[in-house]
Amino acid sequence: MHLKILIFILSFSQTLSLSASLSQESLRPYRNEYFVETGAHYGAGLLVALQSGFRYLRSVEVDPQYFQAAQELLKRYRNVKLWYGSSSTLLWEMIQDIEKPITFFLDAHRFPPLDDGRKNCPLLEELEQIKRHPIKTHTILIDDISCCGQLSFDYLTKEDLIVKLLEINPNYQIFYIAGGWENEVPDNILVATPPNHRRRYTQRDSKFGNLAKSAAKISIRPKAGARGAPYL
Ligand SMILES: C[S@@+](CC[C@H](N)C(=O)[O-])C[C@H]1O[C@@H](n2cnc3c(N)ncnc32)[C@H](O)[C@@H]1O
């Protein structure tokens, strides 16, 4: 078989076999122009975000092998920028030039978690860097909320996270939606949105529809509908 065809088939099947921590249906209602993720892993979450219609995407990965894999997967997308290193210190550098509300997807943590005296989860440091940003109307999604109270999250509780989120914006509305590739994990993503989010989303929907179409060239399986569960 021709070498170029073989490489194409291999990279195409790799794309199909990747599974992200979230689905397009989970992400679409929370679109802004900018998507900033922590914990790129292989880049599957970024592919979902591209297909969901985000215009500019940024992510960071601490593991060199995953970083390389994500770079390879996403090299053709000039609107995707990747950082190599820890989000616990790099997030500010990643967002400081952005002058619009961002949708954050905070998904960096060590897996499997280790009890070796090093941090497993940089969430508090990430939220502190988001707090430095002058815009207070970002939308913040925190994945794997089921890990709260466990070693994976360094025993951080939901309440710890909510206290920190309300330091960023005391008016944040906080609720939970399903996570996972097929929305198979109920209430696994914490969502913090500014109070007028619903109205903004409705107004912007037609504009983002076109962007979503142009990003839809990527092969990703369709997902089941997301469910929402109000918290406050
Ligand atoms: C659950 S995976 C992320 C999955 C990805 N967001 C997706 O949807 O496909 C967690 C990733 O975070 C990375 N990670 C762990 N600690 C990190 C840190 N401090 N900074 C950046 N990445 C980190 C891990 O190496 C791993 O690749």
Q: How far is the CA of 52 from the centre of ligand 1 (A)?
A: 20
- Quick check: CB of 41 below 6 Å from ligand 1? yes
User: In whole angstroms, how far apart are CA 5 and each of 2, 55, 72?
Assistant: 5, 30, 17
pLDDT in tens, 133-172: 999 999 999 999 999 999 999 999 999 999 999 999 999 9
Average of per-residue pLDDT across 173-181? 93
Q: 208 — phi, psi (to 5°)?
A: -75, -20
- Quick check: CB of 126 below 6 Å from ligand 1? no
DSSP state at residue 78: T
- Its domain, for residue 190, covers 3-230
Identify the pLDDT of residue 18.
60
Q: How far is the CA of 109 from the centre of ligand 1 (A)?
A: 5
Length of the chain: 232
For atom 26 of ligand 1, which residue has the closest CA? 41
If one residue of 48, 68, 111 were mutated to test the ligand 1 pocket, choosing by the most ligand atoms within 8 A of its CB, it would be 111
Edge-to-edge strand ranges of the sheet holding 139-142:
80-84, 56-61, 34-38, 102-106, 139-142, 185-193, 173-179, 228-230
Which CATH number characterizes residue 143's domain?
3.40.50.150
DSSP state at residue 226: P
Identify the pLDDT of residue 93.
98
pLDDT confidence band for 200 (50 / 70 / 90): low
Total domain count for the chain? 1
Short-list 87, 101, 165, CA closest to 134: 101
**Per the confidence metrics, is the pTM higher than 0.75?**
yes
Token duo for residue 162: 């909510």
